């Protein structure tokens, strides 16, 4: 029986070196492969002209470079671009490219669906199917970078981040954020492999400051990330106390705020910047009062951080509404007056459902998350007033 071909996108530099050594080839062949695949975007092994013909023949028999098939390519009026990518078995994930002045940011997914089930996130409502492989994660960057680089209609070209040895004249994607579908730290090993490729000068050569992992608070994995591959860290906070966060971010019931913030303080000495980012989704009448803003100040006052307020991007199943512009303005002013660093994120790509919290893809749920979400919503709607909101005023 013929063994399946390995996908070379699954290998970071060390893994590629081990694979090449297993084929009895010299170590420099691994570097050549990395450059052909990641820097030049070549997927046809026969086109790798400086590889020995015998090596190419061996690779054609044993290996391949396979990215995710594109099911849909959508363009927003603000230049944002979203791809729906097929990951098999009825599952699809989404990636988003966001062009901005002086940068191009790619938001990528780490799982098909998400089991964390944050109440304001449409990805969680879809349920969870499986973790993506390292090749499926880095394949999103591989595909987007080389597609945009060669597309004459691409919205931006970033010319200011040259990498020695690259033959192209400019980079399109300058920043990568792992804020797409899934909780990255619940797919730790594959995410780490992908992160190492993003940072490797033989691949994408991105700065640690320009690669961000967003987590809902998987405390043990935050500690591991600090040791294994410290990049910029964004923590999905969304509430200033455990009572509310238990409801909005169910993972808080396992890793409450005291444990989460302690892990954040442990991460800071290893972070590429001298601060962490806390994300706070602004939900009308839920977490946006003056009292809660002052509570947030007390919670975070001793941590070097930036608070990123995110206007909620509604989806029908959530039953939630976006805070008004006036309420967001009042909330951020309380933070600023208290000496906190706080910004309001500009909503991008919402006309193609590419904004924060809107990525849903198409997921065959194996964990009954969707069924539980419907049940929980029915309970909440039947209670007058909503019990967990009452706790905030106690």
Q: What pLDDT shows up at residue 103?
A: 85
Residues making up the annotated binding site for S-adenosyl-L-methionine are 182-183, 214, 236-238, 313
Phi, psi angle pair for 192, to nearest 5°: -60, -45
Tell me: pLDDT of 377 over 60.
Answer: no
Q: What pLDDT shows up at residue 141?
A: 98
Q: What pLDDT shows up at residue 379?
A: 37
Can the peptide bond before residue 385 be classed as cis, meaning omega within 30 degrees of 0? Answer: yes
**Strand arrangement of the beta sheet that strand 211-215 belongs to:** 70-75, 81-88, 91-100, 103-107, 175-178, 211-215, 232-236, 276-282, 305-311, 341-344
**Mean pLDDT estimate for the chain:** 87
Task: Please count the other Cβ atoms lying within 10 Å of the Cβ belonging to residue 359.
Answer: 27
Top-confidence range, 120-124, 148-152, 240-244, 347-351: 240-244
Q: What is the DSSP code (8-state) at residue 271?
A: S
Enumerate the domain spans of the chain.
6-64, 79-393
Distances (CA, A) of 237 to 35, 147, 266: 38, 34, 17
**Cα 213 from Cα 226, distance rounded (Å):** 11
Q: What pLDDT shows up at residue 180?
A: 93
CA torsion sign for 109, 112, 115, 119 is positive
Task: Please count the other Cβ atoms lying within 10 Å of the Cβ belonging to residue 9.
Answer: 26
Q: What pLDDT shows up at residue 369?
A: 57
What would the pLDDT profile of 192-204 be if each residue is shown by its tens digit?
Answer: 999 999 999 999 9
Phi, psi angle pair for 336, to nearest 5°: -65, -40
Write the CB contacts of 2 (distance below 8 Å, at least 6 apart in sequence).
Answer: none
Distances (CA, A) of 90 to 32, 93, 386: 35, 10, 37
Mean pLDDT of 300-320: 91
Tell me: pLDDT of 156 over 50.
Answer: no
Mean pLDDT of 108-122: 92
Mean pLDDT of 168-172: 60
Q: What pLDDT shows up at residue 269?
A: 98
Is 94 marked active-site?
A: yes
Tell me: pLDDT of 71 over 60.
Answer: yes
Selecting among 25, 94, 136, 279, the annotated active-site residue is: 94
**Cα 115 from Cα 150, distance rounded (Å):** 36
Q: What is the DSSP code (8-state) at residue 36?
A: I
Distances (CA, A) of 207 to 98, 140, 170, 175, 232: 18, 18, 16, 9, 10
Helix (H) or strand (E) holding 305: strand 305-311
Q: What pLDDT shows up at residue 160?
A: 46
Residues making up the annotated binding site are 114, 118, 121, 182-183, 214, 236-238, 313
**Cα 32 from Cα 304, distance rounded (Å):** 42
Q: What pLDDT shows up at residue 193?
A: 98
Output the six-digit token pair for 227. 């040791």
Q: What pLDDT shows up at residue 187?
A: 98
Mean pLDDT of 327-351: 88
Position 346 confidence tier, pLDDT thresholds 50, 70, 90: confident
Mean pLDDT of 263-270: 98
Is 356 marked active-site?
A: yes
CA 117 to chain CA centroid, Å, is 16
Architecture of domain 6-64 in this structure:
Orthogonal Bundle (1.10)
Mean pLDDT of 222-230: 98
| Counts of helices then strands in the chain (DSSP H, E) | 13, 14
What would the pLDDT profile of 277-304 be if each residue is shown by its tens digit?
Answer: 999 999 999 999 999 999 999 999 999 9
Residues making up the annotated binding site for [4Fe-4S] cluster are 114, 118, 121
Q: What pLDDT shows up at residue 264?
A: 98
Tell me: pLDDT of 114 over 70.
Answer: yes
Position 350 confidence tier, pLDDT thresholds 50, 70, 90: low
Contact 183, 214 (CB under 8 A): no
Mean pLDDT of 137-165: 71
CA 258 to chain CA centroid, Å, is 24
Q: Look at 22-26, 102-106, 303-307 and tell me which has the smallest mean pLDDT.
A: 102-106
**Cα 113 from Cα 129, distance rounded (Å):** 6
Fold of the 79-393 domain: TIM Barrel (3.20.20)
Q: How many residues does the chain have?
A: 394
Q: What pLDDT shows up at residue 149?
A: 87
Selecting among 279, 305, 356, 378, the annotated active-site residue is: 356
Write the CB contacts of 237 (distance below 8 Å, at least 6 apart in sequence).
Answer: 245, 278, 279, 280
Question: What proportion of the chain, given as a percentage, has pLDDT over 70?
Answer: 83
């Amino acid at each position: 029986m013929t063994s399946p071909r390995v996908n070379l996108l699954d290998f970071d530099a060390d893994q590629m070196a081990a694979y090449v050594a297993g084929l009895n080839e010299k170590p420099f062949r691994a570097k050549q492969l990395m450059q052909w695949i990641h820097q030049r975007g070549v997927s046809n092994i026969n086109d790798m002209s400086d590889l020995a013909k015998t090596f190419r023949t061996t690779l054609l028999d044993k290996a391949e470079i396979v990215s995710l098939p594109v099911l849909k390519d959508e363009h927003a009026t603000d230049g944002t671009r979203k791809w729906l990518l097929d990951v098999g078995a009825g599952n699809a994930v989404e990636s988003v490219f966001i062009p901005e002045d002086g940068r191009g940011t790619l938001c990528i997914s780490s799982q098909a669906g998400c089991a964390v089930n944050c109440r304001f996130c449409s990805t969680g409502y879809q349920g969870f199917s499986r973790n993506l492989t390292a090749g499926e994660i880095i394949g999103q960057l591989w595909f987007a970078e080389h597609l945009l680089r060669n597309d004459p209609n691409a919205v931006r070209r970033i010319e200011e981040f040259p990498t020695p040895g690259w033959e192209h004249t400019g980079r399109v994607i300058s920043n990568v954020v792992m804020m797409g579908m899934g909780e990255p730290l619940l797919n730790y090993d594959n995410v780490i492999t992908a992160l190492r490729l993003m940072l490797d000068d033989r691949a994408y050569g991105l700065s640690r400051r320009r690669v961000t992992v967003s987590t809902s608070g998987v405390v043990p994995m935050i500690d591991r990330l600090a040791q294994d591959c410290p990049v910029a860290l964004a923590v999905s906070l969304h509430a200033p106390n455990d009572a509310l966060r238990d409801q909005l971010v169910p993972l808080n019931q396992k890793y409450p705020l005291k444990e989460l913030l302690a892990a954040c303080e442990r991460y800071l000495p290893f972070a590429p910047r001298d601060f962490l980012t806390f994300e706070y989704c602004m939900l009308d009448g839920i977490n946006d009062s003056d009292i809660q803003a002052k509570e947030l100040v007390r919670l975070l006052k001793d941590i070097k951080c930036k608070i990123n307020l995110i206007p909620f991007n509604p989806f029908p199943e959530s039953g939630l509404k976006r805070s008004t512009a006036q309420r967001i303005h009042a909330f951020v002013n309380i933070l600023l007056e208290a000496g906190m660093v706080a910004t309001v994120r500009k909503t991008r790509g919402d006309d193609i459902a590419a904004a924060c919290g809107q990525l849903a893809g198409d997921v065959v749920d194996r964990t009954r998350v969707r069924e539980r979400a419907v049940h929980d919503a029915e309970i909440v709607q039947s209670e007058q007033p909503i019990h967990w909101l009452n706790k905030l005023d106690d």
